[in-house]
Amino acid sequence: MILVTRINGAVFALNPDLVERVDCTPDTVVTLVDGTKYVISESVPEFIDSVRHYRASLIAQASRMEAEPTAIVPSSEDDDQDHDAKVLPLHRKER
């Protein structure tokens, strides 16, 4: 999540993965994929920098996690629990 500021000064967190576009009209208007619009006080370049830093931090965190050794839990044959992931089919509603 990134922090952005509404025109009235209220700060809120926004998920940049849901952003469809950002327009300068002259205020900065962020449009989400569901059509929700937010007018923010940050400029378009400032908003893009925030998104860039957010995504870079995710990649850096993932790199750190890959570098850390993972603990391997030994499995016992006496264990009756099935720890394998299950795939469940999804069904679409007919329209």
Q: Give the pTM.
A: 0.67
Q: Which residues pair with 1 in a beta bridge?
A: none
**22 CB-near residues (< 8 Å, 6+ apart):** 28, 29, 30, 31, 44, 47, 48
3-class SS of residue 28: strand
DSSP-derived letter for residue 71 is: P
Handedness of CA 74, 76, 79, 85 (dihedral sign): positive
Tens-place pLDDT, residues 15-72: 999 999 999 999 999 999 999 999 999 999 999 999 999 999 999 888 887 776 665 6
> For residue 56, what pLDDT is reported?
93
> For residue 12, what pLDDT is reported?
97
Distance CA 55, CA 68 (A): 20
